[in-house]
Structure 1
Amino acid sequence: MRLHRKDLFASLLIAAVAVPYVGYLLRGEMPPIEDQRGMAGTGLVLGAVAFLVLWRGDAIDRAGKAETASAVLSLGLGVAAYELSDSAMADALLAAFMASMALVWVVKLVDHTGAVHWHRPAEVAR
């Protein structure tokens, strides 16, 4: 149940998205982020880097496949939030994207700590 440097680095990247997002929610802007498009773009870049840092060296097992699928869905939400930033649903898409990015991060950290056993139990010898 030990986290590694890559987990800390990815957590710092997620915090680098979360802090401006909270500031954006409270003030409507957060220098240098001025609108939904800037917030979504920042989330896309830093979130993708955080996922790649967390993903490096992981086994391709059931957990890895589920985590990658959820990251792809989060990426889709991020792209939608970026592209539709001028629409009426921009804030809702941005909120969904930020929540999904946080969820992917939490699931990866839980997998790395070993708190939840995702792997198939070993066959019992008879």
Structure 2
Amino acid sequence: MRLTWRDAVTSLFMAAIVVIYVAYLRDTGAWLVSSTRGTATAVLVLGAVGGCSLGRIDELFTGSRSRTTRIFTLCASLLGVTALSAAIIALVAANAAALAVLFAATMALWVSSTVRHALTPAPGPGTGIDARTHEAIDRRPAHH
């Protein structure tokens, strides 16, 4: 793989999350990020839009899955569950520690996916060939 426009946009979302979280830590008086619940909402929404909706999780479940891909999928899933659980706790209990876990898990998801995209080689010609490929290549004429 290689870094794409999706990685650039996701990086912008992550930068916004960092700015919001730092503003929260500095006791800003800004609306929305002055409270734990408001900051958790902003981090959750920006993380979901910037990470989940722009992500290409389908690439992890198509074709042959190497051991590295399976390990990455497991780690990303655990981080995602951790982030969601921390977000729920931060929103319900206004817990600053849960907000810190949400921020850390969101950051870890972004870093791991960006590094994975940067280090995984781009697929070459002929990759992704499987048992169904011959159906597209060796089309038999239809007899009506």
Give the TM-score taking structure 2 as reference length.
Answer: 0.68
Partner Cα separation in structure 2 for residue 47 and residue 99 of structure 1: 11
Give the TM-score taking structure 1 as reference length.
Answer: 0.77
Does the CA contact (< 8 Å) of 1:40 and 1:82 recur in 2? Answer: yes
Q: Does residue 55 of structure 1 match 2:64?
A: no
- The SS at the match of 1:54 is coil
Equivalent residues, number = 112
Deviation string, structure 1 residues 70-118 (Cα, Å, up to 9, x no partner)? 2122111111111110xxxx11111111111101111111111126xxx
Residue of structure 1 equivalent to 2:108: 103
Could you list the structure 1 runs, at least 4 aligned residues long, displaced by more than 6 angstroms after superposition. none
Residue of structure 1 equivalent to 2:66: none
Q: Does residue 30 of structure 1 match 2:22?
A: no
Percent identity for Structure 1 against Structure 2: 31
Does the CA contact (< 8 Å) of 1:20 and 1:30 recur in 2? Answer: no
Q: Does residue 84 of structure 1 match 2:84?
A: no
Does the CA contact (< 8 Å) of 1:58 and 1:64 recur in 2? Answer: no
Larger Rg: 2
Partner Cα separation in structure 2 for residue 3 and residue 76 of structure 1: 29
Q: In structure 1, what residue type is equivalent to 2:2?
A: R
Partner Cα separation in structure 1 for residue 28 and residue 16 of structure 2: 17
Q: In structure 1, what residue type is equivalent to 2:56?
A: W
Partner Cα separation in structure 2 for residue 108 and residue 83 of structure 1: 29
Q: Extract unaligned runs of 5+ from structure 2.
A: 62-68, 121-144
Q: Extract unaligned runs of 5+ from structure 1.
A: 116-126
